[in-house]
Amino acid sequence: MAKKLVGFALAALFVSLAHASEITVSAAASLQNAFAEIGKSAGSKVSFNFGASGQLLQQIEKGAPADVLATADLDTMDKAAAQGLILADTRVNFASNTLVLVVPATRNAVTSMATLGDADILRIAPGTPESVPAGNYAKAALEAAGKWDALKGKYVFGQNVRQVLDYVARGEVDAGFVYATDAALMKDKVRVAATVRSPKPILYPIAVVKGSPHEEAARAFVSLVRSDAGRNILAGFGFGAP
């Protein structure tokens, strides 16, 4: 009896695996809302795996069955390309973004890059620079301003850009670095204190993962993102053209 049950369970598992014609898209956390919207109009079933771009790369490197990779920076995609993880001919930049300094909406004091050293700013949240592109851009901007090291005691690193947004929205940190598109999602809880000039361009590349068993559907998704419908949805969430 038990053997029969195990047999059934295994059979069910194989059937469900074999029927998995849906594609998995690993995408940067900041793309969450826009991609969920785009996914609705996709022909095949699309499931999403959102996270910090560096984390997504690590997963694919270790063999995660992702079919499409979309990151929030060129560096991570370059690494994926260098390791031969993506189909080079499918790679394309599809959106751009702006880095902003946000503060809790309840904060009255004027805040800017120049005032981050003030005593009333106890905690600043960038994303972990090694795996979160928004954190990497923030680090580069702070380094360019000669402030990165001076503020070291104040950092609380977020696991992805949305966690940073959450920290600021809850008032757990006094300032954070997120994208303009993230800040727009929580207008009632966070205030954009300043637009941060990033030394590197903030571009979003997308590519089909090499060895994807659903290459055709994956290519179709990339085309969908670049189509007029896809661009409109991205623009609606505040993303710029690449």
* Interaction site with another protein (CB under 8 A): 52, 54-55, 57-58, 61, 123, 128, 130-131, 155-157, 159, 170-172
Q: Shortest gap between Cβ of 131 and another protein (angstroms)?
A: 5
* Residue placing its CB nearer to another protein in the complex, 105 or 184: 105
Q: Shortest gap between Cβ of 74 and another protein (angstroms)?
A: 17
* Residue placing its CB nearer to another protein in the complex, 143 or 172: 172
Nearest to 54 by CA among 74, 76, 78, 32: 76
Residue 209 backbone zone (phi > 0: left; psi -120 to 50: alpha; other: beta) = beta
Q: How many of the other CB atoms lie within 10 Å of CB of 176?
A: 32
* Residue placing its CB nearer to another protein in the complex, 149 or 228: 149
Going 116 to 119 to 125 to 130, the CA torsion angle's sign is positive
Q: What is the DSSP string of 169-218?
A: HTTSSSEEEEEHHHHHHTTTTEEEEEEE--SS--EEEEEEBTT-TTHHHH
Q: Shortest gap between Cβ of 127 and another protein (angstroms)?
A: 11
The H-or-E segment that residue 33 falls in is helix 32-40
* Residue placing its CB nearer to another protein in the complex, 19 or 62: 62
Q: Shortest gap between Cβ of 99 and another protein (angstroms)?
A: 21
Q: Is residue 176 within 8 Å of 124, Cβ to Cβ?
A: yes
| Alpha-carbon gap, residue 145 to 129, rounded angstroms | 16
* Residue placing its CB nearer to another protein in the complex, 57 or 77: 57
Q: Shortest gap between Cβ of 49 and another protein (angstroms)?
A: 14
Q: Shortest gap between Cβ of 126 and another protein (angstroms)?
A: 12
| Alpha-carbon gap, residue 237 to 34, rounded angstroms | 6
Q: Shortest gap between Cβ of 81 and another protein (angstroms)?
A: 16
* Residue placing its CB nearer to another protein in the complex, 33 or 159: 159
Q: Is residue 80 within 8 Å of 69, Cβ to Cβ?
A: yes
Nearest to 140 by CA among 126, 154, 153: 126
* Residue placing its CB nearer to another protein in the complex, 44 or 148: 148
